[in-house]
Structure formats: C-alpha cells, structure tokens
Amino acid sequence: MNIVAIFPLYLPWRRAGAEVMTHALLRGLADAGHSVQVLVIPEVRRDSVLPLEEVCLDGIQIKVCTIAQLRAIFDGSRSIDVVISQLGASTTASELARSHQAKYIEVVHGDDPRAYRNLIACRPDLTIFNTRLLRDFFMTHCGRSEVFHPPVSPDIQRTHKGSHVTLVNLREDKGVGLFRSMAEQLPDIPFLGVVGGYGIQETDNFPENVTIQNHTPDMRSDVWSRTGVLLMPSKSESYGMVALEAAASGIPVVSNMLAGVREAMGPSAIYLHLKDLEAWRSQISRLTIDPEYEREAGRRALARSEYIHHKHLSELTQTIHAIESLA
C-alpha cells in the first residue's frame, strides 16, 4: 500500500504525544512492507513556521511543504491508497483523499470541538483513537474504529532513578502552580521542572530547590535519571504517556484523578484530588522519606509499564490489519 500522512507538525520539530503515537504507527506500517511518506503543512497553524526541508527519521521520509506543493505532490502521484491525518490538517487531507480515490483515516487525540468537527466533516473510513475513553465518547459519531494507545518502550526509557520530584511541561493546565506550591512548602526536597515542547511555559519565580530542565529529546538521561517521584497535577490528560515513561524506571506517579491517566496506569499510580494540597504535600513527603513505601509504589509502576508495553504490541498489529483491510 502507498500511504501518505499529512500533519500540521511532526517529528523532529515537535515531540508531543500525538506525534510520538502516529510515528510509532507509521513505523509499524513501514516495517510491514508498506510505502509511507509524511508531508508536514505548518501553514494550517498560525503559530507554526518551519523551514521547507526534507528529513529521514527511522526510515520514513518527512517533507515540510506548502499546501500548494502538497496538492502538486498528490496530482503527480500515480496511486495513493491511504491518507492519514490528525489535528489541524484533517480538512485538507480528507479532501485530497476523496479527490484521489484514497481511503481516509483520522487519528483522534482529544475530545475538543475540533475533533468532533473533523469526524463529522471528514467522514473517515477508519478512525484511530488514542484511548478507549475517547472512542467511547465519540462512538455515535464514527464508523469503523480502533484504539491505539501512545507507545512507551520500557527499554528505551529505563534508567536508575534519581531523587527529584518532577513535573513535565510547565504549563498552567499541567499543574505548574501546584508544583511551585509543593516546592515552596518542602524546601529540603529537590524539585525538577521540565520545559515542555509546546504552549506557554512558566520558568521563573521558583524557589531555590527547583531546577529547570530545558526541553529535551533525551528524557532518559536528562529527566528520568534525576527523578524519584513524578507529579501529574494536570487539569486534563487524554492519556498518561509521560506516567508510563517514568514507570519504566520504577518511578512512583502521583496524579490528579483523571480518567486518561487511569487508563494508562490503572491502580498503579497514587491518585489525589487536585485541590487537596495537603494530600499532595503528604504523599510527596512520604515517598521521599519512607523507603519501603516508595519501593512498593515503584514496583507497582514498573509492573504496569511492562503490562502496557506488551498490550501495545498487540494493538499495533491489530491496527495495521485494520488499515490493510481498507485496500
């Protein structure tokens, strides 16, 4: 099959959960013997400017182009069997798929209004959701569907954990305010704030026990090797990929009571009400001063990481078979 993926942003320029998930799927398709090309059209996003260049990542050609160049590529192609898209590129991608008699696949990463509009307007032949939660939410608005969770390879992430209490992505909606408050209340505990790859990041006005780590593609060396506890006080998460990355090293996870994180971590994380600051302070303190409590929390996290990894491999196979059945 000749497969073309059209995205507003992609690796290596942006490394968020959506890009990591779709790249794992595309790698699986390429490994299965299919021709896969990624075309990035940043002009559909007002906040994104990328150089018009071409790179190769894990054997997949990735080309940044304008919408006019994208249309010319389609017009010059003999046969395109499947078009895959997500987020802001969906309308353009689905139109090109229909005009070139290709099947269209929409990848859904959240329950925002744009995702709903895309499902209604683009009429995908197959919809791939990143969680069961999302598929259940959109069930009445989609036809054929699969669930393919964002992948985490334990072998790539695993390291000897450190001692910092860590927050990844210093945004307001990711809980940077609670992170700052905990650092102020627990001045003898080292905290690590990791700058995320998107959105407005808060990197100033932290107490002296907070270290700021710039955005990094090497989470294993720069983040997990320094982390003893991961905080996830987010207001929303479609899935807890970063929690599973930490869990691969047996790092305990303390999270807001979010369905997306529960789907990733099951009973293996510690769940707290977001507004119960005393409970957050108490858990952080106990995990840093009670070795047996920390070890048990770490063992649960590690076991969950292995379970989800094996489950993901079967999901990849099932999703590839669903895509192949479209031809």
Domain 154-309 has CATH 3.40.50.2000: yes
Element (H, E) at 64: strand 60-64
Domain 2-148, what fold?
A: Rossmann fold (3.40.50)
pLDDT attached to residue 46: 61
Element (H, E) at 4: strand 2-7
**pLDDT tens digit sequence for 64-115:** 999 999 999 999 988 999 999 998 899 999 999 999 999 999 999 888 777 8
Q: How far apart are CA 111 and CA 130, in angstroms?
A: 11
List the structure tokens of 272. 């707290």
**pLDDT tens digit sequence for 269-316:** 999 999 999 999 999 999 999 999 999 999 999 999 999 999 999 999
Q: What is the DSSP string of 115-167?
A: HHHHHHHH--SEEEESSHHHHHHHGGG-SSEEE-PPP--HHHH-----SEEEE
Task: Tell me the C-alpha to C-alpha distance, in Å, between residue 128 and each of 131, 149, 233.
Answer: 9, 9, 27
Q: How far apart are CA 20 and CA 156, in angstroms?
A: 14
Identify which of 142, 140, 116, 114 has the alpha carbon closest to the alpha carbon of residue 128.
142
The model carries a pTM of 0.85
**pLDDT tens digit sequence for 152-197:** 889 989 999 999 999 999 999 999 999 999 999 999 999 999 999 8
User: Do 2-148 and 154-309 show the same overall fold?
Assistant: yes
> Residue 258: CA atoms inside 13 Å, Cβ hemisphere, count?
24
Instruction: Give CA 169 to chain center in angstroms.
Output: 12
pLDDT at position 48 over 80: no
* Domain boundaries of the chain, sorted by first residue: 2-148, 154-309
pLDDT at position 51 over 80: no
Task: Tell me the C-alpha to C-alpha distance, in Å, between residue 293 and each of 113, 258, 268.
Answer: 42, 23, 13
